[in-house]
Amino acid sequence: MTNSAQNPLLQKFANKDEAVPFDLIKTEHFMPALHVAIDEAKANFSQIKKNQEATFENTILALEQVSEKVDTISGVYFNLFSAEASEAHQALAQEISPLLSNFSSDISLDGEIFQKIKFVFDHRKDLKLSGEELSLTEKMFKDFSRNGALLSETDKQKLRQIDQDLSVLSPKFSENVLKATNAFELWIDRKEDLAGLPDGAIEAAAISAEQKGQKGKWLITLNAPSLIPFLTYASNRTLREKLWKANASKCFGGLFDNQEIILKIVKLKYDRAQLLGYKNYADYVLQERMAEKPETVFNFLNKILTPSKMAAEKDLAEVRGFKKQIDGEDEIKPWDFAYYSEKLKEQKYSFNAEELRPYFKLENVIEGVFEHAKRLYGLTFQPVSGYPTYHPDVKTFEVTDQDGYVGLFYMDFFPRETKKGGAWMTSFREQGLWGSVVKRPHVSIVCNFTKPTDTKPSLLDYNEVTTLFHEFGHALHGLLSKCKYKSLAGTNVYWDFVELPSQIMENWAKEKEGLDLFAKHFETNDLLPAELISKIKKAENFQSGFTSLRQVSFGLLDMNWYTTDPNSITSVEAFEEKATANTRVMPKEPNTTQSCSFSHIFAGGYGAGYYSYKWAEVLDADAFEYFKEQGLFNSQVATQFKNSILSRGGTDHPMKLYVEFRGREPDANSLLRRDGLI
């Protein structure tokens, strides 16, 4: 243990723009720092309670800033928990999470402080509050009301215990998924078992094996850059089956079983919602979403389900027919679909997705997203050294525009055993008021992309390219924020609105005008041929029914978990099978579940909110139609999008912001049109 004077988390960060001193921080610094920071925050909190008369400044603003040090330290801890966590760092979550939960409850359940908030809220007209001051006051009143401030003392204690329990279970779920992912290894010692795999995937598997001391063999893992090429291209059906089943049964039984954790989480969230006066957890969550209530979400998903399922059944029938042509029989199992689907796409469009990879060198794609940001929003990304990072793979950039410094940007792209799977954007410092100064943000995107090999740089597949554009869209939402208060800034918006900035960015990676900015052959520097771009466009809606149905299935599974009385659920597998029955076009494989590794809804913030991806697709399809009408890089439309959406955070209702940008509400059929489903 270190004393406060030696703990880097308790000193003013001395790096340029007060960036996090990752080079100085050790796991053992977090608990002592948090204890000190929480004590300071409690002292600040006591001071707020002593004020005789409540005003916006001494109550609402003071509460906004009451725990800045706690927020910074916990933010660093949990960002590293996802991106670079040793076993000791992971284990610490079981101490840190309850500590933070208890501190949060101390504030949100304090009746005396709530009366002060209520006084300001009730007198908001007399106090002439407007703009962000009014938005912050209304948000804080609603947050306290929704999180137990009106409960009896007995019920407050029940709520506190529920939140404590949840604070331990969610990190444990995430930890199990990471450990189960790392634990599976498919070892291959015969080269013929690699038949069909692209050379880059074979080379990557050889490097993975060599790193484990097995030179001359090949290692396939459950990390996406290893898993997806094998399921898509490997002709060995037995090994595809083994790999698919390992991924589909992850954390379902065995050492890292998440079944009991799921049942506990849904029960606790249900009890929490009921305690607060809501029918179920979805009912509670959706009060603060554009959709507003579960019925709206179910109606929305079911509206998309019907055309998606019809299209998916046609997709499957086409793949079966194709398989019969070449194999003499048409049985398609889940581990066959990607393989035969890719072969069918090659036949229909003379197009193999691997043809694209040489044109998507990671460094070129990065330059491409930067160039998009420059043309659309006038941003410049300058690579800089001197900022500490938490891993050598992390790159840092200073972001500027015509008015000066915009923010600090981190990029972290390759898989490792200390990093969870998937891709995400996060912040190390929110934009907004810190103390008496409005500060610019420190934003990061974290992905798990194909690594460079001994003979080739990192060459991305097309899905990885669109993932990078997606996460970069989130980053722009954080970087371009121009709000006064950090809890309203950047991505602090309704969760069924937060995916609009990310999903709209993917569209530019599908257009020739966008691709021409960065899609260059890594050896010859030739642009991606127009013929290949045309094939991408023609193949864009290939199997779109199947893809759409998959997302609808996830959304319905999530909504069912959080609208069903958990006392009636005894089996994770049986519940999931029933919840997704109408979305299935292939029989369910026994001993497999999506739920047991569904981190979005059990360890992330998407519980009762996974539908947000499809919801925001409607917004992004409608918004991008506007760009296409006016020009992909039309400065007027881009400025409208920046000023009405990207810079405004949660300072107003999302629909109001969208109408301000578009001039009308979104056309609900824009997504179905884009996907070729109507």
**Residues annotated as part of the active site:** 471
Question: What are the backbone angles phi and psi of residue 78, rounded to the nearest 5°?
Answer: -75, -30
Q: In this structure, are residues 175 and 258 in contact, taking their beta carbons and an 8 Å threshold?
A: no
Using CB atoms within 10 A of its CB, is residue 181 exposed (0-12), middle (13-18) or buried (19+)? buried
* C-alpha to C-alpha distances, 578 to 98, 265, 564, 622, nearest whole angstrom: 34, 19, 12, 33
Q: Where are the alpha helices (DSSP H) in 562-653?
A: 572-579, 599-602, 612-630, 635-641
Q: Where are the alpha helices (DSSP H) in 123-221?
A: 131-146, 153-183, 199-211
**Interior CA angle at 206 toward 201 and 207, to 5°?**
95
DSSP 81-137: HHHS--HHHHHTHHHHHHHHHHHHHHHHT-HHHHHHHHHHHHTTTTTT--HHHHHHH
Q: In this structure, are residues 375 and 531 in contact, taking their beta carbons and an 8 Å threshold?
A: no
Q: In this structure, are residues 562 and 279 in contact, taking their beta carbons and an 8 Å threshold?
A: no
User: Residue 467 is encoded by which pair of tokens?
Assistant: 């993932």
Q: In this structure, are residues 41 and 63 in contact, taking their beta carbons and an 8 Å threshold?
A: no
Helix (H, G, I), strand (E, B) or coil at 202: helix
Distance of CA 556 to the CA centre of its chain: 18
The alpha carbons of the chain give a radius of gyration, in whole angstroms, of 25
User: Residue 343 is encoded by which pair of tokens?
Assistant: 């072969």
Spell out the SS3 assignment of 292-348: CCHHHHHHHHHHHHHHHHHHHHHHHHHHHHHHHHHHCCCCCCHHHHHHHHHHHHHHH
Spell out the SS3 assignment of 452-464: CCCCCCCECCHHH
Distance (Å, whole) CA 77 – CA 74: 5
Nearest to 672 by CA among 298, 292, 310, 295: 310
